[in-house]
Amino acid sequence: MESENRLGGVLAAQIISVADVASLTISGGYVSSAVLATGKAWQPLELAMLRSTVTPEVEESDAGQLLKTEAVLYLCELAAAVKSIVTEAATKGCLLRIFYSNGDVILYGTMEWPMHGSLVRVPGTGASDGHVFRLSLVSEEPYQGLK
């Protein structure tokens, strides 16, 4: 049986379109906070019981080192309005705010290098399983090393 307090596991997630962000604060080479445009708010994502992950890793490329971040979040049933917000943000570019069970809150994506991806309905494996939505997001940005 899996522990309820998975050290570092994804506890909650929120998304916002980069068009709804006024500015970002960068500290130590990473986004530390976002100032939202007037009247805009983070969209909470209701996570399903499946394991959601966010994996940042440094990759070598012809242009130098890239920080590639891949997020795979499994979401519960979405209201039509929420589905529209999430799909538009994923398509046009977004920031992702992840709350980890160890207390960390990390922002992924930037204004210049936002996360992009898709939202797909995934059927359950059994007749009574229903379905979930899989939100897959990726961003790549130049990596300068630890600052």
Residue 66 lies inside a defined structural domain of this protein: yes
Contacts of 87 (CB under 8 A, 6+ apart): 118, 119
Q: What is the CATH number of the domain that holds 18?
A: 4.10.410
H or E element at residue 140: strand 131-142
Tell me which residue range forms the domain holding 133.
Answer: 10-142
Residue 14 lies inside a defined structural domain of this protein: yes
DSSP letters for 11-73: EEEEEEEGGGEEEEEEETTEEEEEEEPTT---EEE-B-SSPPEEEEEEEEETTEEEEEEEEEE
pLDDT digits (tens, 9 = 90+) for 45-62: 999 988 899 999 988 878
Residue 147 lies inside a defined structural domain of this protein: no
Amino acid found at 6: R
What is the pLDDT at residue 144?
74
Residue 65 lies inside a defined structural domain of this protein: yes
Confidence of residue 8 (pLDDT cuts 50, 70, 90): low
Report the alpha-carbon distance of residue 116 to residue 113 in Å, rounded. 9
Contacts of 33 (CB under 8 A, 6+ apart): 24, 25, 107
Residue 129 lies inside a defined structural domain of this protein: yes
pLDDT digits (tens, 9 = 90+) for 112-147: 999 999 999 998 776 666 789 999 999 998 887 654
Into how many domains does the chain fold? 1
- Quote the tokens at residue 55: 């994996």
